[in-house]
Homo-oligomer: A and B are copies of this chain.
Amino acid sequence: MSDTIRLFDLAGADDAVRFSPNCWRTRMALAHKGLPVETVAWRFTEKDAIAPSGQGKVPVLVVGDLWLHESWDIAEYLEDHYPQTPSLFGCAQGRATARFVNQWASEVLHAAVARVVVPDIPAALHAKDRDYFRTTREAAFGRSFESLAAEREPAREDLRRTLAPLRSVLLKQPYVAGAAPAYADHAVFGAFQWARVISPHALTAADDPVTAWVERMLDAYGGLARSARCVAAA
């Protein structure tokens, strides 16, 4: 039960800059469950270090001999293997429905946030990651970072429209999961923490209910996310 938990966590040139939205999901989930974790600074090009996971992306969580990957699968593992800790989902329906929130965040929200913040990322990267990052991301977007940067303002307007269902929910309840944060919040919050750590550009307006929720999430779990090193503040 008391295996040390290690998390390979995406870092910038500065070891303390941890900016992966998917790794933040896992860190928030671990904090929710009160499980201590040892994070390992990892860079995009250090594929060998996580090879035992059978793939090349983080988060990778190592629990004893077990190598886990995929933030959703990690959350399910934590829920099932630490039943004595606070639940991430509440019940089977809560888990199933949180999967929808998770997929919305992964497939819709992350793409919308990326269009705002990706041009800020290269400056924060370790030198050995820069070519890899530019090549893979420019291929994914089908355009250069320079052209993305030139359209940051319309991208931010699009993002704010994309947030409509989240905003409506947060006008009715303090967290996506209801009265207190849980995995449905972690799944969405990762994207906001990604932007906060890596970019000086605010995603949402000060008076947006989403902004107030982000502030609550920054305070959750003893202020874990608020204490993170941010490039913009360096």
User: Number of copies of this chain in the oligomer?
Assistant: 2
The reply to whether A166 and B100 form a contact with Cβ atoms under 8 Å apart is yes
Given that A90-B90, A91-B90, A91-B91 are known contacts, is A168 also in contact with B103, CB under 8 Å in the complex? yes
Chain B neighbourhood of A87, CB < 8 A? 93
**Residues A148-166 near B (CB distance < 8 A):** 164-166
Given contacts A99-B173, A101-B100, A184-B100, contact A165 B108 (CB under 8 A): yes
- Can you give 13 contacting A-B residue pairs, CB < 8 Å? A93-B177, A93-B178, A93-B184, A96-B184, A97-B177, A99-B169, A99-B172, A100-B104, A100-B176, A103-B168, A106-B165, A107-B164, A108-B164
Which residues of A does B touch, CB under 8 Å? 87, 89-101, 103-104, 106-108, 164-166, 168-169, 172-173, 175-179, 182, 184
Provide the main secondary structure of the chain A interface. helix
CB-based contact A184/B91 at 8 Å: no
A103 surroundings in chain B (CB, below 8 A): 164-166, 168-169
